């Protein structure tokens, strides 16, 4: 009985926070637009009894999904989002691994402080942090002023409103999600393994490559998924830091919803985005489970 | 933009202090009022004012069509207002509660009746034109003394844009204004609803697209004022605000606004009360407060937009009433055009075209 209750709680949670919203979105994706409040039809009318419910279902169709497949804009946007997310994840890994490595090798009494420094940015609103990057990267911004002061450049660099700014924003925002799982994996590593390797004549670099990296693999995989999955649907960073040329599915969804007032097509875009994300989410789950089993 | 954040924070703080008093919730464009007026309204009426801001009609329209926005007064632009009225989003105004209606200006009311017949659902807050803001120093440096700063040629001629690209050009992210402007440039009817005519806009944008740094509807105020960009296609008062911010900052940036001589789009921002407004009485009080001649003049004097209030004109400062960029001469008025909303099918064509133009795909 107690076991059943324990299982019930997370499932109820999933039902309320995931399944119900998803069914609503799915329902809207099968509807048609209308100039009304809310701007789609049909809406469920329980007052009309069974007939009303039958009418309601008979009016739903897959037309919007058909429409998505006929316009290459959507495929380009999905592909471009996956590409940007993949590159950004790789860059975050490059930036995050050395930090996690340094933290794991720091003296014990430093670690809580270093951990705090990684988490500290979360105390400020995400939006304000992205806004401050606009101030740093703009033509007359701090970065350009600094570079011109050092004499490295004579003309300000155009960084804001380019894909580079989007990558900077994503790497900055998601860095803690990469650092923490890698740090957790590295911290658990047995340091005597490295000593043994050294005793047996292995160079430090080779030992790192043959021992440290494989042992932190689970942390790397977890970190990559934690960055990759939310980045695909990212909207705020590309719209604030990116130019209009950065095509991401989050922005396309926004335009369908706000500019076209086409909630049904916007919902269809969201449903497909979710289907695309299910693949990496399942892989992530598998990895976590394997890790638990290996430890268990 | 910093101001926008401060306003929002202040609003939240304001709301938290005394939630017990009766509230009026107003949703207006960003950088669009003298904030002293908000305090004055609270003092005069004893109502709590919650003041939130947006920077695009699309965001407002989505809230209106979703219903239950919780706002008592909102400020859509004419074309959007018209569509939202037909969706049933607004309630008719009660003239008995609006004694200051007598202050309104018939010249503007005649034009707004195009969107809201008899002005039954809305009052005019402010109006303006869509035109070109330039950083005078940088543009003359790049294009010479006779740069066509008052012509669509500046922004739609690839030769000019190529030279300007390096110092930054922003366009409004508002297809309902940028497409009519391009149609005007090629000599078509700017209010055309014919998809084949609208499609011709792509030929105008394709060659200049590489030189446009960003499509955005509010960032250009600060970007112009700081000298980050040198040309912005934007709304008259916003560019004049950028001019003043640059003056105040004393950073040597000189901004000028021109309505294109080929013809500029004229738009009207209308205050209206949503059907499901929680406090329609308070909303009427707010509208009446805004229509007071001195209050309306204070708002215009602060944001540099013309208003639809005849009585307020005697309280306007010379910088506003005598500036032809704000109150155009009769001759210039005749050169302004207005547009009507796109039907749903055409709207999809327009948005798709706009996405294509913006993303270059």
3-state secondary structure chain A: CHHHHHHHHHHHHHHHHHHHHHHHHHHHHCCEECCCCCCEECCCCHHHHHHHHHHHHHCCCCHHHHHHHHCHHHHHHHHHHHHHHHHHHHHHHHHHHHHHHHHHHCCHHHHHHHHHHHHHHHHCCHHHHHHHHHHHHCCCCHHHHHHHHHCCCCCCCCCCCCHHHHHHHHHHHHHHHHHHHHHHHHHCCCHHHHHHHHHCCCCHHHHHHHHHHHHCHHHHHHHHHHHHHHHHCCCHHHHHHCCCCCCCHHHHHHHHHHCCCCHHHHHHHHHHHHHHHHHHHHHHHHHHHHHHHHHC
Cα B188 from chain centroid (whole Å): 24
Asked whether residue B152 falls in the same domain as residue B257, the answer is yes
Domain-embedded: residue B192: yes
Instruction: Choose among B88, B214, B226: nearest Cβ to A36.
Output: B88
pLDDT in tens, A143-153: 999 999 998 98
The 3-class SS string of chain B reads: CHHHHHHHHHHHHHHHHCCCCCEEEEEEECCCCCHHHHHHHHHHHCCEEEEEEECCHHHHHHHHHHCCCCCCEECCEHHHHHHHHHCCCECCCCHHHCHHHHHECHHHHHHHCCCCHHHCCEEEEEEEEEEEEEEHHHHHHHHCCCCCCCCCHHHHCHHHHHHHHHHCEEECCCHHHHHHHHHHHCCCCCCCCCHHHHHCHHHHHHHHHHHCCEECCCHHHHHHHHCCCCEEEEEHHHHHHHHHHHHHHCCCCCEEEECCCCCEEEEEEEEECECCCCCHHHHHHHHHHHCCHHHHHHHHHHHCCEECEHHHHHHCCHHHHCCCCCCCCHHHHHCEECCCCCCHHHHHHHHHHHHHHHHCC
Structure tokens at A93: 């890994």
Interface touch A259/B358, C-beta < 8 Å: no
Dihedral pair phi/psi, residue A5, rounded to 5°? -60, -45
> pLDDT confidence of B8, banded at 50, 70, 90?
very low
Chain B contact for A257, CB < 8 A? Answer: yes
Domain-embedded: residue B360: no
Asked whether residue B81 falls in the same domain as residue B229, the answer is no
d(CA B87, CA B65): 8
Interface touch A38/B65, C-beta < 8 Å: yes
Asked whether residue B215 falls in the same domain as residue B310, the answer is no
pLDDT at A70: 87
Q: Which of A185, A177, A187, A213 is nearest to A112 (CA)?
A: A187
pLDDT in tens, B112-142: 999 999 999 999 999 999 999 999 999 999 9
Domain-embedded: residue B87: yes
pLDDT(B23) > 60? yes
pLDDT at B232: 97
Q: What is the CATH number of the domain that holds B134?
A: 3.40.190.10
Interface touch A252/B223, C-beta < 8 Å: no
Domain-embedded: residue B244: yes
Instruction: Choose among A35, A139, A262: nearest Cβ to B83.
Output: A35
Asked whether residue B61 falls in the same domain as residue B148, the answer is no
Residues 6+ apart with CB under 8 A from B343: B193
pLDDT at B15: 43
pLDDT at B18: 41
Chain B contact for A135, CB < 8 A? Answer: no
Chain B contact for A125, CB < 8 A? Answer: no
Asked whether residue B98 falls in the same domain as residue B159, the answer is no
Q: Are B337 and B180 in contact (CB under 8 A)?
A: yes
- Interface A–B counts its CB contacts (< 8 A) at 81
Q: Which of A4, A203, A173, A209 is nearest to A101 (CA)?
A: A209
Asked whether residue B304 falls in the same domain as residue B343, the answer is no
d(CA B58, CA B155): 25
Asked whether residue B287 falls in the same domain as residue B256, the answer is no
pLDDT(B239) > 80? yes
Domain-embedded: residue B330: no
Instruction: Choose among A37, A255, A260: nearest Cβ to B88.
Output: A37
> pLDDT confidence of A289, banded at 50, 70, 90?
confident
pLDDT(A244) > 90? no
- Which whole number is the average pLDDT over A163-182? 95
Interface touch A261/B65, C-beta < 8 Å: yes
pLDDT(B32) > 90? yes
Q: Which residues on chain B are in Cβ contact (under 8 Å) with A245? A: 358-360
Asked whether residue B257 falls in the same domain as residue B172, the answer is yes
Asked whether residue B255 falls in the same domain as residue B306, the answer is no
Structure tokens at B300: 């215009």
Q: Are strands B264-272 and B231-235 parallel, antiparallel or unpaired?
A: unpaired
Asked whether residue B214 falls in the same domain as residue B80, the answer is no
pLDDT at A4: 82
Asked whether residue B212 falls in the same domain as residue B298, the answer is no
Using CA atoms, how far residue A187 sits from A92, A180, A202, A259, A296, in Å, is 20, 10, 21, 49, 18
d(CA B261, CA B336): 9
pLDDT, mean over chain B:
91
Using CA atoms, how far residue B330 sits from B34, B327, B333, in Å, is 28, 9, 5
pLDDT at A71: 85
Structure tokens at A96: 């995050």
pLDDT(B84) > 60? yes
B20 vs B277: which has the higher pLDDT: B277
Q: Which residues on chain B are in Cβ contact (under 8 Å) with A261? A: 58, 61-62, 65, 347
d(CA B29, CA B60): 10
Please give the residue range of the domain that contains residue B135: 129-265+338-353
pLDDT(B343) > 90? no
Q: Are A88 and A227 in contact (CB under 8 A)?
A: yes
Domain-embedded: residue B261: yes
Q: Are B31 and B305 in contact (CB under 8 A)?
A: no
d(CA A180, CA A176): 6
Domain-embedded: residue B218: yes
pLDDT in tens, B92-111: 999 999 999 999 999 999 99
Chosen from B2, B55, B60, B65 to mutate, greatest number of chain A CBs within 10 A:
B65
pLDDT at A138: 87
Q: Structural domains in chain A?
A: 67-295 (1.10.3720.10)
Q: Which of B161, B100, B104, B169 is nearest to B134 (CA)?
A: B169
- Which whole number is the average pLDDT over A241-262? 84
pLDDT at B10: 43
> pLDDT confidence of B21, banded at 50, 70, 90?
low
pLDDT in tens, B177-215: 999 999 999 999 999 999 999 999 999 999 999 999 889
ipTM of the complex: 0.71
Structure tokens at B304: 């540099």
Closest-CA distance, B106 to chain A, in angstroms, reads 31
Q: How many CA atoms lie within 13 A of B326 on its CB side?
A: 24
pLDDT at B1: 38
Domain-embedded: residue B361: no
B332 vs B281: which has the higher pLDDT: B281
* Total tally of structural domains belonging to chain B: 2
pLDDT at A119: 92
Top mean-pLDDT range of A58-72, A253-267, B290-304:
B290-304
Interface touch B61/A252, C-beta < 8 Å: no
d(CA B23, CA B42): 10
Using CA atoms, how far residue A127 sits from A3, A132, A175, B28, B247, in Å, is 41, 9, 16, 21, 29
Q: Are B304 and B326 in contact (CB under 8 A)?
A: yes
pLDDT at B20: 47
> pLDDT confidence of B7, banded at 50, 70, 90?
very low
pLDDT in tens, A122-141: 899 999 999 999 999 988 88
Asked whether residue B349 falls in the same domain as residue B314, the answer is no
pLDDT at A36: 83
pLDDT at A262: 86
pLDDT at A296: 61
């Amino acid at each position: 009985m107690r076991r059943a209750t324990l299982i019930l709680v997370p499932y109820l949670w999933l039902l309320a926070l995931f399944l119900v919203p998803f069914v609503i979105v799915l329902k809207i994706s099968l509807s048609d637009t209308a100039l009304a409040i809310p701007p789609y039809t049909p809406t469920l009318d329980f007052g009309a009894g069974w007939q009303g419910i039958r009418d309601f279902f008979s009016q739903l169709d897959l037309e919007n999904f058909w429409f998505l497949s006929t316009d290459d804009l959507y495929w380009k946007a999905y592909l471009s989002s996956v590409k940007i997310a993949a590159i950004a994840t790789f860059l975050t890994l490059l930036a995050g691994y050395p930090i996690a490595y340094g933290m794991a090798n720091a003296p014990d009494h430093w670690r809580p402080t270093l951990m705090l420094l990684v988490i500290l940015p979360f105390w400020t609103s995400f939006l304000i942090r992205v806004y401050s990057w606009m101030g740093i990267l703009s033509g007359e911004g701090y970065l350009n002023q600094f570079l011109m002061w050092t004499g490295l450049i004579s003309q300000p660099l155009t960084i804001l409103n380019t894909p580079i700014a989007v990558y900077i924003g994503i790497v900055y925002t998601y860095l803690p999600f990469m650092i923490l799982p890698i740090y957790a994996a590295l911290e658990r590593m047995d340091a005597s393994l490295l000593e043994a390797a050294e005793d047996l004549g292995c160079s430090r670099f080779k030992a790192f490559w043959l021992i440290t990296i494989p042992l932190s693999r689970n942390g790397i995989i977890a970190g990559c998924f934690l960055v990759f999955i939310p980045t695909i649907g990212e909207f705020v960073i590309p719209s604030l830091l990116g130019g209009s040329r950065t095509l991401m599915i989050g922005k396309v969804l926004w335009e369908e919803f706000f500019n076209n007032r086409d909630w049904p097509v916007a919902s269809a875009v969201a449903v497909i985005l979710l289907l695309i994300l299910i693949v990496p989410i399942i892989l992530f789950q598998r990895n976590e489970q394997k890790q638990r089993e290996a430890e268990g | 933009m910093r101001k926008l954040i401060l306003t929002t924070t202040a609003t939240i703080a304001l709301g938290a202090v005394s939630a017990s008093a009766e509230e009026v919730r107003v949703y207006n464009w960003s950088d669009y009022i003298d904030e002293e007026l908000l305090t004055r309204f609270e003092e005069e009426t004893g109502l709590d004012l919650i003041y939130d801001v947006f920077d695009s009609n699309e965001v407002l329209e989505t809230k209106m069509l979703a219903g239950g926005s919780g706002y008592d007064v909102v400020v859509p632009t004419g074309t959007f207002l018209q569509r939202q009225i037909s969706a049933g989003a607004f309630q008719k105004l009660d003239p008995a509660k609006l004694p200051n209606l007598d202050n309104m200006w018939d010249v503007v009311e005649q034009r707004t009746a195009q969107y809201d017949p008899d002005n039954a659902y809305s009052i005019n807050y402010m109006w303006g034109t869509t035109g070109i803001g330039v950083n005078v120093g940088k543009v003359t440096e790049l294009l010479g003394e006779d740069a066509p700063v008052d012509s669509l040629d500046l922004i739609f001629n690839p030769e000019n844009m190529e030279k300007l690209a390096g110092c930054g050009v922003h366009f409004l992210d508002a297809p309902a204004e940028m497409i009519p402007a391009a149609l005007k440039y090629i000599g078509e009817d700017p209010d055309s609803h014919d998809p084949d005519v609208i499609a011709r806009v792509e030929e105008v944008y394709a060659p200049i697209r590489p030189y446009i740094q960003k499509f955005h509807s509010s960032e250009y105020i600060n970007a112009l004022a700081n000298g980050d960009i040198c040309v912005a296609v934007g709304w008259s008062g916003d560019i004049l605000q950028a001019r003043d911010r640059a003056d105040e900052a004393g950073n040597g940036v000189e901004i000028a606004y021109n309505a294109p001589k080929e013809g500029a789009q004229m738009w009207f921002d209308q205050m209206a009360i949503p059907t499901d407004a929680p406090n329609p009485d308070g909303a009427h009080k707010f509208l009446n407060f805004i229509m007071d001649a001195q209050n309306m003049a204070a708002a215009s004097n602060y944001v540099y937009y013309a208003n639809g209030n005849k009585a307020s004109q005697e309280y306007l400062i010379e910088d506003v009433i005598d500036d032809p960029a704000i109150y155009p001469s009769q001759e210039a008025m005749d050169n302004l055009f207005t547009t009507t909303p796109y039907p749903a099918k055409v709207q999809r064509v327009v948005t798709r075209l706009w996405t294509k133009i913006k993303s270059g795909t």
